[in-house]
Amino acid sequence: MIGKDIQLAARYLKADKLVAIPTETVYGLAGNALHEEAVSKIYTVKNRPVFNPLILHLGSREAAESYVRKIPELAQTLAKHFWPGPLTLILEKANHVPDIVTAGSSFVGLRVPNHPLTLELLKNLEFPLAAPSANPSGYISPTSPKHVQDQLGAQIAYILDGGPCQIGVESTIVKVVGEEFLILRKGGIPIEEIESLIGPVKLHTHNTENPDAPGMLKSHYAPSVPFVVGNLNQLVIEYQTKSIGIIAFRNPLAGIPEERQIVLSKTGNLEEAARNLYKGMRYLDTLNVEIILAELLPEFGLGRAINDRLMRAAA
Ligand code: TXA
Ligand code: MG
């Protein structure tokens, strides 16, 4: 069921049921983070590997303090500046945060999402919400209630309708280890903005055998058809025998039907491009094309998060 009833959403969550929640980045699949029963449902519904931890969503910066050992000063600076907003901080967890949320790690991810409905919902709850993106594991994140409904609707109690997501790519993840700040995922807050506040950070977004952000395995955010990133003019020649879908930054390609092309932002605006990215990928995935071709965006600001997702979709 889809609706805007915060009280109903709260009742379901208090009964350990799952509710999809709107955030500024993508929709989340939420459950009571302090109840193992609710959290284990999240893993089941998403078909998510149990080694991949979940982010805690909180209603305020003050609420964050009870779920971590401490918030170092520069992390406080980031929280003060960016919460509510698309920043996830990974800090040493407090003992009472269940292991199932952190997949056994002694670190926990926290964020205060910037969406009025979800902030209001969190105020009505006495517990934080564990919430990964509300998509089947490995697929494209949802940026509208309908995206959630299409894939997970039958398995969750309620979808809280907060409209289309305003940012459209996931939060930037920053892990704090001692004095070091590691970027585990490029996202809705550009790295440049983080560095302008706290100085240089380390990029740590690559996949390894034992990844620090297990959700950042190389192949991710992927549509169900083959996906190739490169120079569009060259790629359309290379794949001319196939039916092609296109993701272009500013301009559609001549010679390909417009209804099979997604232009992310005609004016070259990276924020607009981020908002259109996942919707566009999902749309092309419904067309039954044989291959999707995409070009990279300028590598700064939100362009870095968009490029990261395009590369992962292609991996
Ligand atoms: O914007 C977002 O962050 C969205 C909305 C719903 O808040 N959530 C989201 O969650 O993208 P998810 O689960 O799809 O991605 C979270 C990422 C995963 O790659 C996970 O491995 C990593 O965060 N993560 C979560 N907790 C972690 C921890 N304790 N240590 C390391 N990585 C962690
Ligand atoms: Mg996800």
**Is the CB–ligand 1 distance for residue 88 below 6 Å?**
yes
Three-state DSSP class for residue 194: helix
CA distances to 49, 127, 217, 236, 238 from 232, rounded to whole Å, are: 35, 48, 26, 6, 10
59 C-alpha to ligand 2 centroid (Å): 21
Number of H helices, E strands in the chain: 11, 15
**pLDDT of 119-176, one tens digit each?**
999 999 999 999 999 999 999 999 999 999 999 999 999 999 999 999 999 999 999 9
Three-state DSSP class for residue 265: coil
What is the average pLDDT value for the chain, to the nearest integer?
95
CA distances to 25, 179, 246, 259 from 290, rounded to whole Å, are: 29, 48, 11, 15
Whole-angstrom distance, CA of residue 270 vs CA of residue 268: 6
Environment class of 79 (CB within 10 Å of its CB; exposed 0-12, middle 13-18, buried 19+) = buried
Q: What is the pLDDT of residue 219?
A: 59
Cα atoms in the Cβ-side hemisphere of radius 13 Å centred on 124? 16
Contact between residue 118 and residue 162 where contact means Cβ atoms under 8 Å apart = yes
Q: What is the pLDDT of residue 209?
A: 45
**Amino acid (1-letter code) at residue 95:** N
64 C-alpha to ligand 2 centroid (Å): 21
91 C-alpha to ligand 1 centroid (Å): 13
168 C-alpha to ligand 1 centroid (Å): 15
**pLDDT of 46-60, one tens digit each?**
999 999 999 999 999
Three-state DSSP class for residue 235: helix
102 Cα nearest atom in ligand 1: 29
**Amino acid (1-letter code) at residue 229:** V
Taking 50 as the pLDDT cut, the residues of the chain under it are: 208-210
Pocket test for ligand 1, best of 27, 51, 55, 212 (most atoms within 8 A of CB): 55
Closest ligand (CA of 139): 2
**Is the CB–ligand 1 distance for residue 90 below 6 Å?**
yes
Which has the closest alpha carbon to 313: 189, 211, 230, 197? Answer: 230
pTM of the complete model: 0.96
Whole-angstrom distance, CA of residue 21 vs CA of residue 24: 10
Pocket test for ligand 1, best of 47, 137, 147, 173 (most atoms within 8 A of CB): 173
258 C-alpha to ligand 1 centroid (Å): 35
Q: What is the pLDDT of residue 67?
A: 98
Q: What is the pLDDT of residue 211?
A: 53
Q: What is the pLDDT of residue 213?
A: 60
